[in-house]
Chains A and B, each alone.
Chain A
């Protein structure tokens, strides 16, 4: 039973354009969400997060939007750069744990020059 879903396994975008990565969740107890970026043969690295008391969080080229009623969040990258090519994971900490993360399956982003 996937509590965090990323239904697009891959996304291809032209350099300079916007990349939009989507994530849906089913557990209404989730109150915090994180995006991680992963290059091949490396561990995931934290990118940006959002608390459920907000609907938007921005950090440079990266913006995360949260729609609680739809249980949906999205990561926008503008403008996209070739170095952004990686796998992006959406994650949420499980309440009652020590911040144990429940991950989506990831979306592989390819930014073409």
Chain B
């Protein structure tokens, strides 16, 4: 029973298209995240979201937008895809901050490999 799932696993599309990647977690967590792993293998935070706050990494183009229909889902919409968007995108979830010096671990999905042609 997968804790954090993403669909699709692979996505190949043309430049200029609009696409979405879905993410679902069944852990009851209240915070979800999107990370991008680029061709140089850097894993970088794109967004974090709970029911109160969306934090956007300032380097993320506004063509990328997270959409959360409910607490268990955080989908990633990408408009006008560009070649440089090709990467592996990981969704993650956690119980969020426990306060003080305790951070709860994040559970990652298996990733979605996006290829823009």
Q: How far is the CB of B103 from chain A (nearest CB, A)?
A: 5
Within 8 A of B (CB), among A45-102: 45-46, 49, 51-53, 87, 89, 93-94, 97-102
B30: nearest residue on chain A (CB-CB)?
A98
B45 A41 Cβ-Cβ under 8 A:
no
B31 A103 Cβ-Cβ under 8 A:
no
Residues of B within 8 A of A36 (CB): 108
A99 B41 Cβ-Cβ under 8 A:
no
Interface size class on chain A is 20 to 34
Q: How far is the CB of B3 from chain A (nearest CB, A)?
A: 10
| B interface SS class | strand
With A41-B111, A43-B92, A43-B110 given, is the CB distance from A101 to B101 under 8 Å?
no
* B86 lies within 8 A of chain A by Cβ: no
With A43-B110, A52-B101, A53-B101 given, is the CB distance from A99 to B31 under 8 Å?
yes
* B12 lies within 8 A of chain A by Cβ: no
Residues of A within 8 A of B45 (CB): 94, 97, 100-102
